[in-house]
Amino acid sequence: MAEAEKTNLTLRISKEVVEKARELGLNLSSITESMLKTENLMQDEGVVTPVKMRETYRKIFLILLEILREWEVYLRIGEEIEHVTFKDEKGRRSIYPKTFYYYLAPHGTIELCEDDGEPINEWKFVEDWPVNNLFNPDKLIESLVNQLYSQAERNKEKLRKLSLLKNVLEKIKPNKKEEEVKNEN
């Protein structure tokens, strides 16, 4: 599309996400445009079935997988809340909400995990995985930026610790001249 054919669009994304995206060098306009183009592929006059939704998500996820592979991260792409019933020792029932999370893995699977991160189900990319609880495009962008920013911060901390380790190892490592003197004796 030529630049003259483009128009401005107002998209409400938290200021924090925009700042993180800038720090990471991400082009939110380009990412949003790609996602919207893909989302518009499914807009037709008929009923939007889960099959159509899944195909559209697949196209978006293919774009996301390139980023996830480069960064070696999983991306939270949805969540599901189930109401779980328990009975206590007196037989009283309690109901509480339990949250499960959907992740797109960098190797291309969709995983459903408990809140502790333990996978309870996994689908191959080509399989029919659930779509009703997957995030909308704006939430996917926010999730992506937050995950990449968190990984960048972890990378920065790891580099700092590796530098410290290198300095310590260099101090511990015997000096070559000292070793030569020892070897001569």
- Nearest Cα to Cα of residue 54 among 124, 129, 151: 129
pTM score, whole prediction: 0.68
| CB proximity list for 1: less than 8 A, separation 6 or greater | none
Cα 67 from Cα 56, distance rounded (Å): 18
List, for residues 69-94, the tens digit of each pLDDT value: 999 999 999 999 998 888 888 888 88
Structure tokens at 22: 């800038």
CB atoms within 10 A of CB 26: 19
Name the phi and psi angles at 165, rounded to 5. -60, -45
Segments making up each domain of the chain, as ranges: 14-172
Q: Is the distance from CB of 35 to CB of 140 less than 8 angstroms? A: yes
Q: Is the distance from CB of 99 to CB of 79 less than 8 angstroms? A: yes
Rg (Cα) of the chain, in Å, rounded?
24
Mean pLDDT of the region 155-165 = 93
List, for residues 91-141, the tens digit of each pLDDT value: 888 888 999 999 999 999 999 999 888 999 999 988 999 999 999 988 999
Percent of the chain, pLDDT > 70? 85
